[in-house]
Amino acid sequence: MGGGCSRCCAGWVTCCYGCRKRQSYTQKMSTKTAERVWFCVMAFTFLATLFDMFLWVSSDNDADSVNAGFWKSTGVWFPFYFTFQIISYVTFGYIMLLMIFGFLHMILSERLQLHMLHKIGVVMSLVMTITLIVFVSIRLRHLWHFVPELLQYIGPFLQLVAVTVMTLLSWFVAGGLGTLQRRGIPIRDASFWYFLVLIVLYITPIFIKSPCIMTQHHEDNPHKPLLFAHKGAEEIAPENTNISFMIALDDYEAHGIESDVRISFDGIPYVFHDEILTRTTNAIDVFPENYRQPADMFTMDELRELDAGSWFARKKPFLTAWFVSDEEKEEFSQQGILSMVEMFNIVLARKKSLLFDVRPPPSEHPYATSWLNTTIDVITKEIGLDPSEFTYWPAPNGPHYVFFIQLYDNRTIQNVYNDIAFQSVRTALENNVTTNVWTVNEAWLFQYYWCAGAGSVTTSSVHTLSGHNSLVWQLTPTHYLIMWILFDVASLIWVIVVFVIQITLHRRQGRRLTRHTSDGSAYNYQFVAMSDKPSDMYAS
């Protein structure tokens, strides 16, 4: 019964890998050199697709900014990032299945023979993967910094997974030594590279620097970072609108709002992010002749004519927008562009904090040289804040200024992008400077900067991050050292035992074959998938 099950499994594997029927042992031929080359190409493609998928997974935090960038260059609002992700997932899944079938061929002693359609699929997957990686390197270079950050966060556990995989592969590596020896390749040379990779993985933790490996104990962990809602609750409501601000502050108890302020043609600061109006308003319908001109070239009365909410349910910029109810659509359609004073009233009435960028108007604007002073005058005279209750500084990434209202938050902060190293966050904290990191949307990145000691983060995902109330993991260096050593020792013992067993089996098999051939008797032995034995060796 066991043999029948094995034959059934082997037939299924050969059908999926090579679209062919399984051959009997008397008909088997050795794996051709070309097929071995194809297996190596497939292994390289697997590593490339794995890296590509890891890149897109790690940089998912900035998916919205990528889509917005494509909108600026193409004028089309489309989930480009999600499309690239799907391509990477599909190619990786496809190549991974082929690799599994290839290894099953070896386990079941079947000849490797990849079907031509699969060969075409492997080449296409490799080309698409390399194209995506090159594209990211040229057009989306800002995504690369997420790769080392995610590696730092999950590095301790990724090392354990890698050691586990190499430990499990020891049975196949040791099992193939007999075949290599029959080809005249010394076992020492063949096993050297395996043990070299294994030793490198064993000592990798020496170089792992993770923010969640901390000297303090659990009771001394950093406090949860405060949440600034980026443009309000922008993933579940239209950005920079009254309803978006209220949902973030009332429903999810955000510490404050992070937004954008511009100045209208008649000198009134208003809340808006983009340079033109078309992405988030119905300016094309209301101003068909001049909708392409900069948003700052419209008066405040003209801006109030626009619908700044209906686009959210229509364009569906986030996955959550697909689940907007009819009642919410109606409420969104009533949202307009707010003045800066209205935003202040919403936030300060709830005794919350406010962080916003003030962006300069075009050079032909009547307030092109006085936009900053005009904004400050509105804050001090119309809103009534004392100059000691707010601070502002030039933004490091553009010509705009960053304003921080300290009426209910008197921290000294640095507002930095999410590529800042966790060591820099801790250094600033030692100098009594709190770090606010923008934009942090993914849970793992939030946990990363939580471990680093960031005082606050700006997030578009206030509805999800507000529910994170404890660190997912945290280890002291001593605990990590113990875990690392015990795991590596267990792996090494397992590998040594496996090699001893396999070498013993090969020696017994060799003595048995020598004894059978010396007395002229016929013999059969199981076909080894990667061997070079001719087909007549398997005949009775």
Which residue ranges make up each domain of the chain? 1-144, 148-199+476-540, 226-275+339-465
Backbone angles phi, psi at 249, to 5 degrees: -80, -40
- Confidence grade of residue 86 (pLDDT, cut at 50, 70, 90): very high
Mean of pLDDT values over 364-374:
96
Q: How far is CA 515 from CA 175, 236, 299, 508, 520, in A?
A: 22, 76, 99, 11, 9
- Indicate if the pLDDT at residue 21 is higher than 70: no
Q: What is the rounded average pLDDT of the residues 367-384?
A: 96
- What's the mean pLDDT in 443-451? 96
Of 21-25, 104-108, 412-416, 419-423, least confident by mean pLDDT is 21-25
pLDDT, position 527:
37
Total Cβ atoms within 10 A of residue 125: 24
CATH architecture of structural domain 226-275+339-465: Alpha-Beta Barrel (3.20)
If one counts every other C-beta atom within 10 angstroms of the C-beta of residue 406, the result is 16
What's the angle, vertex CA 272, arms to CA 268 and CA 278, rounded to 5? Answer: 115
What pLDDT does 528 receive?
43
Task: Tell me how far apart the alpha carbons of residues 181 and 351 are, in angstroms, rounded to a whole number.
Answer: 77
Alpha-carbon span 437 to 414, nearest angstrom: 8
Q: Minimal CA–CA distance to 17: which of 168, 130, 109, 119?
A: 119
pLDDT of residue 502: 81
Q: Is 517 helix (H, G, I), strand (E, B) or coil?
A: helix
Long-range pairs, 166-174, Cβ under 8 A, ≥24: 166/194, 166/197, 166/198, 166/201, 166/491, 167/491, 167/494, 167/495, 169/194, 170/194, 170/494, 170/495, 170/498, 170/499, 171/498, 171/502, 172/103, 172/106, 172/107, 174/498, 174/499, 174/501, 174/502, 174/503
**What's the rounded Cα separation, in Å, for the pair 436 and 409?**
13
Residue 188, pLDDT score: 61
Give the bridge partners for 270, in sequence order: 262, 339
Percent of the chain with pLDDT over 70: 85
- What are the angstrom distances between the C-alpha of 213 and each of 219, 452, 489? 14, 10, 21
What percent of the chain is predicted at pLDDT more than 90? 68
Confidence of residue 537 (pLDDT cuts 50, 70, 90): very low
pLDDT over 80 (residue 25) = no
Which pLDDT value is given to residue 24?
46
**Mean per-residue pLDDT for 198-208?**
93
Given a contact cutoff of 8 angstroms between Cβ atoms, the answer to whether 491 and 163 are in contact is yes
What is the DSSP code string of 392-438? Answer: EEE-TTSS-EEEEE-SS----EEEEETT--HHHHHHHHHTT-EEEEE
Which of 19, 8, 107 lies closest to 526, judged by CA? 107
Asked if 407 contacts 389 with a C-beta cutoff of 8 angstroms, the reply is yes
In 3-state terms, what secondary structure has residue 308?
A: coil
pLDDT of residue 106: 72
Task: Give the chain's mean pLDDT.
Answer: 87
Mean pLDDT lowest among 23-27, 389-393, 397-401: 23-27
Q: How far is CA 2 from the centre of its chain?
A: 44
Q: Is the peptide bond preceding residue 320 cis, with omega within 30 degrees of 0?
A: no
Find the range with the poorest average confidence among 152-161, 183-192, 321-330: 183-192
More confident of the two residues 280 and 515: 280
Cβ contact 539:122 at 8 Å: no
Greater confidence, 172 or 257?
257
In the predicted model, is pLDDT for residue 185 greater than 60?
Answer: no
φ and ψ of 213, to 5 deg: -100, 100
Q: Please count the other Cβ atoms lying within 10 Å of the Cβ belonging to residue 366.
A: 14
| Sequential DSSP letters for 54-107 | HHHHHGGGGHHHHHHHHHHHHS----HHHHHHHHHHHHHHHHHHHHHHHHHHHH
Between 335-344, 438-447, 494-503, the lowest mean confidence (pLDDT) is in: 494-503
pLDDT in tens, 293-338: 999 999 999 999 999 999 999 988 888 888 899 999 999 999 999 9
Q: Do the beta carbons of residue 49 and residue 92 sit within 8 Å? A: yes
